[in-house]
C-alpha cells in the first residue's frame, strides 16, 4: 500500500503497531536524548533512531543495540545532515566542532 506521494505507508515501512509499542517501551526506559547527554545537557527524547540505517533489513531494524533515543531536533536536523553530508554539526562545551573530521580537530 502507498500514500499519495508514492511512498509506502508507515506500516509497510515497518513502523506499524508493533514498532509504536516497542518505541514507547524503549523511550520509557531511555527518556533522554543521547546526543544531548553526550554534551552534558538534559533534553527529553521523543524519537527512537536507528544508529545504522536498516534499509528494510528486519534483523537490523529490530536490533535494540541499533536503537538510540533522540530528541526531534537531533533526529530531524542533525542526524539527517550527518547521513546526507557525512558531517556532524555543532560544537561541544569546549567550543570545538563535534565533527571529528573537522580541521580544528586534527
- Sequence-separated (6 or more) residues with CB below 8 Å from residue 76: 47
* Domain locations along the chain: 17-105
62 exposed, middle or buried (CB, 10 Å; 0-12, 13-18, 19+)?
middle
Strands 47-50 and 67-70: antiparallel
11 band by pLDDT with thresholds 50, 70 and 90: very low
Residue found under cell 573530521? 101
- The pLDDT tens digits of the residues spanning 59-98 come to 999 999 999 999 998 888 766 666 666 666 666 767 777 7
Q: Which three cell numbers mark 96?
A: 570545538
Q: Which pLDDT score, from 0 to 100, does residue 81 have? A: 64
pLDDT at 36 over 70: yes
Mean pLDDT highest for which of 37-46, 49-58, 81-90?
A: 37-46
Amino acid at each position: 500500500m502507498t500514500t499519495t506521494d508514492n511512498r509506502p505507508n508507515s506500516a509497510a515501512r515497518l513502523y506499524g503497531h508493533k514498532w509504536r509499542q516497542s518505541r514507547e517501551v524503549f523511550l520509557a526506559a531511555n527518556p533522554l536524548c543521547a546526543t544531548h547527554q553526550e554534551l552534558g545537557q538534559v533534553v527529553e527524547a521523543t524519537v527512537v533512531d536507528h544508529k545504522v540505517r536498516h534499509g528494510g533489513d528486519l534483523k537490523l531494524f529490530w536490533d535494540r543495540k541499533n536503537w538510540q533515543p533522540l530528541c526531534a531536533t537531533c533526529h530531524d536536523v542533525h542526524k539527517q545532515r550527518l547521513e546526507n553530508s557525512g558531517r556532524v554539526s555543532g560544537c561541544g562545551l569546549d567550543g570545538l566542532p563535534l565533527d571529528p573530521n573537522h580541521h580544528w580537530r586534527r
